[in-house]
Amino acid sequence: MTPVILLTGFLGSGKTTLLQRLLTDPSMKGAAVLINEFGEVGLDHELLDRIDDTVVLLKSGCICCTVRGEVADALSNLHSLRARGEIVFDRVVIETTGLADPYPVLQTLTAHPVLRSHFTNGGVLTTVDAVNAVLQVEHRSEAVRQIAAADRIVLTKTDLTEPETEQALRRRLARINPGALILTTEASVDVILGGFGSTDFANTLASEGGGDPLCGPACDHAEHKHTHHDHAHDRHHAHHHDDALGVTSFSLVIEQEIDWTMFGTWLTLLLHKHGERIFRVKGILAIEGEDSPIAIHGVQHLVHAPTHMVNWPKGPRQSRIVFILEGLSPDQIRRSFTAFMGLSEARTAAE
């Protein structure tokens, strides 16, 4: 499986500049690049030094609606060329337009009947302009979705901002996506891309946060509140809420082992009904009958194939699921989860 790294970020946030830098690193020597631009004349690919058959410009404009087929065609074409021995690559980077919602591209990778057998999600890297980000996230939902979908965030133009402004922005980004590692362009390519595109990507992400991997290093809260429910001692992690955006992130901690089948029933129904407003779901689950934890990753309606992690991260062995939501009540989601799991237990007991 060839990993596909998605490089996204709002207009002018420095995606192409970062891509230029990433491509100079020896580890990216074997990367094929797809560039998508919004506009009549594509320029971004001209800004890259390396122009060869593995750099493809997608010309149809906005990647989130019209270009989905074109992304699929371009990836299929790259795969065919490689199969015929005409080009060589070991990973793909897709640079989206600044107006793109990353979800449809991830969906294409998962749902396309051919692509899903050859390509896999290698991680979402989002650039955030430290000067203009506050305005962008308040006025453009695409910017919020890009941040929420990120596995890693790279702050750009930090040399043009005051340290206090950068810190305030970091806190705000942490409220939108507490699970993402936030870096600046000063970080080395190794750090920016560490684990991206590897087959052990889920483990890499889960281990980044140290003691609380799902809440991640961006998390700035200290208090953890316990709420005990009827059937499960599910611990309610403190909310991160951005009032201006209506974006909330919270995590559900469940101490009992989870019935995978009912969990799937619950999450598919939740995403079917509210996927548009669930920007991100990410979790480590203790499943009944399983020794090792299962990692799940979802963006809106899409859930990536769950992966087995090798080991439990630091801390107690309990399931933790992080949600990034817009306009949904964390309390109601927790109550719903408990009710579904209770139904599962009641059914099992009756049999």
Partner 1 sequence: MCSLCGILGCDDHWTNAIVRPGVYTRNHDTQSRRAEGMRRLKSANAVLSYRRLKLDVWQGRSYVMTSPTGGSSVFEALSHLWSEAEALSGRDLDPLDDDLIEWMEERTSL
127 within 8 A of 96, measured Cβ to Cβ: no
Q: From the list 130, 294, 321, 322, which residue makes contact with partner 1 (rule: CB under 8 A)? A: 294
For the bound state, the minimum distance from the C-beta of residue 326 to partner 1, rounded and expressed in Å, comes to 14
* 21 part of the interface to partner 1, by CB under 8 A: no
295 within 8 A of 283, measured Cβ to Cβ: yes
For the bound state, the minimum distance from the C-beta of residue 343 to partner 1, rounded and expressed in Å, comes to 5
b/e sequence 172-209, b meaning 16+ C-beta within 10 Å: bbbbbbbbbbbbbbebebeebbbbbbeeebbbebbbbb
Q: From the list 29, 261, 310, 315, which residue makes contact with partner 1 (rule: CB under 8 A)? A: 261
Instruction: State the angle between helix axes of 141-149 and 103-111 in degrees (0 to 180), rounded to the nearest 10.
Output: 50
* 227 part of the interface to partner 1, by CB under 8 A: no
* 269 part of the interface to partner 1, by CB under 8 A: yes
Token digits of residue 15: 């995606």
Q: Which residue has the tokens 């897709």?
A: 94
* Residue 312 or 340 with smaller CB distance to partner 1: 340
* Residue 48 or 328 with smaller CB distance to partner 1: 328
96 within 8 A of 8, measured Cβ to Cβ: yes
* 312 part of the interface to partner 1, by CB under 8 A: no
Binding mask 77-116 for partner 1 (x = CB under 8 A): ---------------------------------------x
**Using a CB cutoff of 8 Å and minimum separation of 24, what contacts does 290-299 make?**
290/257, 293/317, 294/260, 295/202, 295/203, 295/205, 295/206, 296/267, 296/321, 297/121, 297/202, 298/267, 298/271, 299/102, 299/103, 299/106, 299/148, 299/149
* 239 part of the interface to partner 1, by CB under 8 A: no
Only segment of 149-157, 181-189, 314-322, 332-340 that touches partner 1 (CB under 8 A)? 332-340
Q: From the list 84, 139, 226, 272, which residue makes contact with partner 1 (rule: CB under 8 A)? A: 272
Find the angle CA(293)-CA(294)-CA(298) to the nearest 5 degrees: 145
Q: Residues, the chain, total? A: 351
Q: From the list 145, 172, 282, 304, which residue makes contact with partner 1 (rule: CB under 8 A)? A: 304
* Residue 9 or 275 with smaller CB distance to partner 1: 275
Only segment of 55-63, 69-77, 159-167, 300-308 that touches partner 1 (CB under 8 A)? 300-308
> What is residue 287's DSSP assignment?
B
C-alpha 77/C-alpha 136 separation (Å) is: 35
Only segment of 132-140, 196-204, 205-213, 327-335 that touches partner 1 (CB under 8 A)? 327-335
Phi, psi of 160 (to 5 degrees): -100, 5
* Residue 81 or 328 with smaller CB distance to partner 1: 328
* 346 part of the interface to partner 1, by CB under 8 A: yes
For the bound state, the minimum distance from the C-beta of residue 267 to partner 1, rounded and expressed in Å, comes to 8
Please give the size of the binding site for partner 1, defined by CB under 8 A: 39
> What is residue 238's DSSP assignment?
P
| 3 state DSSP class of 32 | strand
* Residue 66 or 268 with smaller CB distance to partner 1: 268
* 201 part of the interface to partner 1, by CB under 8 A: no
Write out the residues near partner 1 by the rule CB under 8 A: 116, 230-231, 259-262, 264-266, 268-270, 272-274, 287, 289-290, 294, 303-306, 308, 328-329, 332-333, 335-336, 339-340, 342-347
